[in-house]
Every structure is written in C-alpha cells, then in structure tokens.
Structure 1
Amino acid sequence: MTFTETKLKGCFILEPKIIKDDRGYFMESFNEKTFQEGIGQKVTFVQDNQSFSTRGVLRGLHYQCGEHAQAKLVRVLQGEVLDVAVDLRPNSETYGQYEAVLLSGENQTQFFVPRGFAHGFLVLSETATFFYKCDNFYNKESEGGLIYNDETVNINWDFPLEELLISEKDQVLPNLENAKKVW
C-alpha cells in the first residue's frame, strides 16, 4: 500500500496494491501494522459504518468534538464519490482549507481523515456504497457540522448545485465562522 500525505497535515491518501488476473482481483484493504506505520501514528478503529446513496447526494460536512472526536478511514465499495475533508484544528497552518479526493470502487483508493476535520462526500455515480472506519464512538451531543457551500472554505464540488440532494439537517449547518469548535 502506498501512503501519500496531503497538503493537510495528517490526512493521507492510501492506494492499495491490487493483484489482478482473469478471475478478478485481490487486495489487502486494511492491515493495522501497515496502516500505523504508513501514517506514523497509532490509531485504533472501534466502529465500521456503511451507507448507500444515489447520484447527487451530498452527506456532510460532519465531525465530532472534544473527547468524542473521530478519525476516519473512508473508501467506496461501489460507485464513485468526491470525498472532502476540511481542517478545523484551531492552531493548524491549514485551518479552513480542504482536500478533495476521488474515491471509487474501481480505484479502491482510501482516505484517512484524522481527528479535528469536518468530513463529507458527494456521490458522482448513479449509486455508491460508502464504507468507513471510526476510531471513536458516535456521540450525539458532540456532533458538529459545517455547511457544504461555506464561502470561506470555497469547496469546488464540480457538480451542478441544483442537482444536489442534501438532508434538511445538512442544509442548515453553520459556516466556518459559526461552527462548533472541535476542541
């Protein structure tokens, strides 16, 4: 597996070694030792989540605050999404900046989003099955969010805005200036 750190310190793009033959393919999607060596820190995942969505669904941008903050290792099992992480760490040199990665069932790329980041994704294919590991359990009281179209962050979703399908909850998330602090 190849690990590439993004411009956002602590965020990594993971590209697996895929062994293909006439029967299909094989790949190791997760190995704790390889993962921890690749990102240079110990992260223990405690929960796996999976969602299914249709084209135009934008989920996010979500995060957990304080002692309930979560790191995530995300991937797409089927379909294609634009996956986005926004740095919310108050003392970070890249505070308020984002990284966008194309994840698909075909490229098998994964994205590691550490604690202190808002995370979301937009489904580009007709459908997508999204899978992610979390290093902490969800806590409703510690939930935070950032509006997808915040002008300060200025995410380029590269998708017709009138075709976005966004939950009522995600449509009223605050902008960066008013977002709940991660810690």
Structure 2
Amino acid sequence: MKIRELAVAGAYRITPEVHHDERGTFVAPYTREAFTAATGRALPLGQSHHSVSRQGTVRGLHFADVPPGQAKLVCVTSGEILDVVVDLRTGSPTFGHWDSLRLNAVDYEAVYLEEGLGHAFVALRDDTVTAYLNSTEYNPAVEREIDPFDPALGLPWPDGLDFLVSARDRAAPSLAEAERTGLLPSYEACLALRERR
C-alpha cells in the first residue's frame, strides 16, 4: 500500500495492492497500521455508508463544523468518480486550494480527508457506488456545504456532462460568503482536534 499526501495538507491518496485470481479481485483500501504510519493517526470509525449515483451527479462540497469535525476515507466500489478535496480551514497555508483525482473500481485508490477539508465528487458513469468510512456519525446539525460551482474555486468539473445537483448544494454559499459569515472551521481548531485524537 502506498499513501501520499495530496496538494492539500491533510488529504492523502491511498493506493492499495489489488489481488487478482481466477475467482476475481480482492483489495483492502484501508489498513490501520499502514494508514497510521503514513498519517500519524488512526481512523476511528463512526459510520460507514455508500451512495449510488447517476452519471453527472455532483455530491458536495460538504464539510462538518469543527468541533466535532468529520474525517473520511472515500473509495469507489463500482464505476468512477472525479473526487475533489478543498482546504476550507481559515488560516491554513493551503486555504482555498484544491486537489483532485479519479477514483474507480479498477485500481481501487482511495482518498482520506482530515477534519476541516471539503469533499465533493462527480460520477463519471451511471450506477457509480462510492463508499465512505467516517470518523463520526452523520449529524445534520453540524453539516455544512459550499457551492461546488463557485467560480472563485474553479473546481475541475469535466465538460460534456449534464450535472445533477441537490437543492441543498445548489443553494450553498460561495467560499467567500462562508468565510465572511464565520461558517468555516479554523485551522487552529482542526489542529487542536487532531492533537486530541
């Protein structure tokens, strides 16, 4: 397993070994020992869930208040997504920066995001299944969103897709609006939370 940090501090690309034989494929996108050695922390499991998306479905840009925060590990078990991570932590050296990668059910790479980072993706194929391991349970009272089409972010959504976006995400504020209204987590609060875990 290879784990390397993305251009956004606190986000990691995980490349697991994929084992093939006459029965099919076996892969483990998360192992505690390798993950902890690479990131300096273990991933506590608060909730596991998955989504099934039509081609062009955009989910995100989502994050949780810090505290409590929510770290997540995301992988694809069927289909393909363009996955995007955005640093939403005010005061962070990479605030407002993003990185992206394609996740699919061929090489089974995964992405890990620490608390305070925003997450979004677009499904590149019908019936794409995205699986999540979250450090905390879903809590709608602390869930937040940023407009995934905020021109100031300039996220790399591919051309030629008819985007399907929830009403919640369409109504989300821009990054500048969220910063101005105090909606975003601070880098200091995220570091303090990481030290406690």
- What TM-score does the superposition give when structure 2 sets the normalisation length? 0.88
Higher deviation after alignment, 151-160 or 112-121: 151-160
Deviation of 1:21 after TM superposition, in Å, equals 2.3
Higher deviation after alignment, 151-160 or 20-29: 20-29
User: Does structure 2 conserve the Cα–Cα contact (< 8 Å) formed by 1:4 and 1:12?
Assistant: yes
User: Matched residue of 1:67: which SS?
Assistant: coil
Q: Which residue of 1 aligns with 2:73?
A: 73
- Stretches of structure 2 that go unaligned for 5 or more consecutive residues are 187-197
Deviation of 1:22 after TM superposition, in Å, equals 2.7
Deviation of 1:166 after TM superposition, in Å, equals 0.5
Deviation of 1:5 after TM superposition, in Å, equals 0.8
Q: Which residue of 1 aligns with 2:25?
A: 25
Give CA deviations for 1:37-92 in whole Å, capped at 9, x if unaligned: 12222331211011111101001111110222111000001000011111011121
Q: Could you tell me which amino acid in structure 1 is paired with residue 165 of structure 2? A: I
Q: Is 1:128 equivalent to 2:134 in the alignment?
A: no
Higher deviation after alignment, 89-98 or 151-160: 151-160
> Percent identity of the aligned residues?
30
Over the aligned positions, Cα root-mean-square deviation in angstroms equals 1.3
Q: Could you tell me which amino acid in structure 2 is paired with residue 101 of structure 1? A: L
CA distance in 1 between partners of 2:85 and 2:22 (Å): 36
Q: Which residue of 1 aligns with 2:116?
A: 116
Structure 1 segments, 4+ long, off by >4 Å, are none
- Stretches of structure 1 that go unaligned for 5 or more consecutive residues are none
Q: Which residue of 2 aligns with 1:142?
A: 142
User: Does structure 1 conserve the Cα–Cα contact (< 8 Å) formed by 2:65 and 2:184?
Assistant: yes
Deviation of 1:134 after TM superposition, in Å, equals 0.7
Aligned runs of 1:28-67 on 2, under 5 Å? 28-67=28-67
User: Matched residue of 1:52: which SS?
Assistant: strand
Q: Which residue of 2 aligns with 1:164?
A: 163
Deviation of 1:160 after TM superposition, in Å, equals 3.0
User: Does structure 1 conserve the Cα–Cα contact (< 8 Å) formed by 2:29 and 2:75?
Assistant: no
Q: Is 1:181 equivalent to 2:180 in the alignment?
A: no
- What TM-score does the superposition give when structure 1 sets the normalisation length? 0.94
User: Matched residue of 1:178: which SS?
Assistant: helix
User: Matched residue of 1:140: which SS?
Assistant: coil
